[in-house]
Amino acid sequence: MNLNFLYASDNVYYDLMRLSIISAVKYHKGAAFHIFTMDSPETRQVQISRKQKEKLKSEIALLDPTSRILFYDVRDMYLEKLSNSVNRYTRFSPYAALRLLAPYIIQNVNMLLYLDADTLVTDTLFELFDEDLGNHDFDIAAAPAIDGKGIQSGSLFYRNSAAVRTFLRQ
């Protein structure tokens, strides 16, 4: 099974993201790790450096040569699709919205799991990816927020269907 993970990180959260990916590789050989990064137009956040990218690719290749690390500079798409979003002027950084760009960029995967950079994977997630989602047009899953209002957006699992892509694009 080909598992696909998504992260959005800058150079400050790189070390946390690196540990998260290493923890995921431990349980998920052959996984693809899609990483969105950019120089933020609104803040001083700077994308992951070339040196950091090469270090991560080398480390993961040593742990599991079948896993893939794919970096995407999403600044132009962020400016085009999200710079006028209602989320732009909230307490969240522009990086919090980058997961919404996945339907525009990662189109050839069936299911995708977004994880915050500070998430550690402590066991296999095959059950999640093996879940029979049936013939629904719309499949997206998130954990409820601790306060019961909304969702905990640090992890987001979705089937890459036309309905979900439309929902995330809005």
**pLDDT(138) > 60:** no
Neighbours of 67 (CB within 10 A): 20
Architecture of domain 4-169: Alpha-Beta Complex (3.90)
CA pseudo-torsion sign 23, 66, 111, 167? positive
Half-sphere exposure of 3 (CA within 13 A, CB side): 23
Alpha-carbon gap, residue 144 to 149, rounded angstroms: 7
Average pLDDT over residues 18-33: 95
pLDDT the model gives residue 132: 60
d(CA 98, CA 82): 8
The rounded percent of the chain whose pLDDT value lies above 90 is 36
pLDDT given for residue 32 in this prediction: 95
Per-domain residue ranges of the chain: 4-169
